[in-house]
Structure 1
Amino acid sequence: MRWSGAVVNIVAWWAVLFVLNLMFISTVSELELVVAAATGLLAAVAACAVIKASGTAGSRGGPWARALLAWPGAVLADTGRLAAATVRAVRGRKFRGRFQKVELKAGTGSAWACALLSATPGAYVVDVRPGAAGFGDVLTVHVLGDSATALEGVLTGGGRS
C-alpha cells in the first residue's frame, strides 16, 4: 500500500470509528472527544496494519470483499441448519457434524478465511495446513450440514472437497 493510499485508508477508518464512538457517548465533553479521536486513530492504524498483513492491501473487491458480503447469508443458512439439528435432537434423533477438508483458493489468506468460517454457527476451523505450490491452504473444518454455504464457495472457488 502506498503512502497516499495508507493515509486515505487511515483517515476513512478514523472517521468511521470516531463517529461510531460518539454515537455511544451520552454526554459529549472535551475529554470524550480527545479520547474518541485518539482511540479512533490507534484503531485505524491497527486496521491498516491488519489489511497489510492479510495480503489484501492492493486488492479492490478481491476475495475478502466478496467473502464479507457472503458472510451474513452463511450465518443465516447455518442458523437454520442449527435450528433443524436442535429440533431433531429434541425429538430424539441423532445428528452429528463431521470434519471436512476445505481447500482455499490460491492467494486467499487463511487467517481471515478461518475467522469468517469460524464466525458462523455451522462451521469452525480446527486445523490449517499449507497447500501444495500454486494451491491454497487446506483447512480441516467441523461442519454442521452437508451442503456448502456461499461463503465457502467464495473462499474455495467451489465449496467443499
Structure 2
Amino acid sequence: MTQLNTITWLFPILFMLHDFEEIILLEAWQKSCKQDLKNKKLKRIIFSNCNNTPAFSIAVAIEFLLISLIALITTLTQNYYVWYALFFAFTLHLILHCAIIFPYKHYVPGVITAILLLPINIYILFMLLSLLPLTPLALIITCLSGTTAMLLLLKALHKYMHLFELTINNFTPQ
C-alpha cells in the first residue's frame, strides 16, 4: 500500500474519532447547557435538531459510509481530487468547531477532537498539495466543490434527523 493510500484511509478514521466525541457527549451536553443555550441571543442553536443519540448516530453512519466509499474509490482509481475536496471540507468543519466555542463561551461537543485533529488535517492537506498536480484554479474549484457537497449532505441529514428518530421509535416497545 502506498503512502497516499494510507493517507486516504486516515479520513474515515479521523472522521470517526471526531464524531465519537459528538455522539458520546451530545445528549449530556444538551441537558447540562439547555438553559444557557436558550439564554444566548444566537440565530441558531448548535445541535438543536439532534435530540437523541441514536438518530444522530444514523446520520454519522451515513457520512462514514460515504467517506469510506470515497476512500475506496480513491484507492482503486488513484484519483485524489474528490477525496481532497471532501477532506478539505472536513478540515473546515473542524475549524468551525473551534470557532463556535467563542459565541457559546464554553465547551461544544467535538471541539476537543477538532483541536487535536486540526494540525494533522492541515499537514495532510499541505503534503498532498505537493504530491498532486493542482493548479491554483483547480485547487479553488476542488475545495469549493467539496465544501458545497459536504454542506448539502449535512443539510439533508439534518433535515431528515427527525425521520431517523421516528424510525428508531418504531422499534421501541410501547
User: In proportion to residue count, which structure has more strand?
Assistant: 1
When the two structures are superposed, what TM-score results if normalisation uses the length of structure 2?
Answer: 0.28
Which protein has greater RCO, CA pairs closer than 8 Å, 6+ apart? 2
Q: Which is richer in helix?
A: 2
TM-score (ref. length: structure 1): 0.30
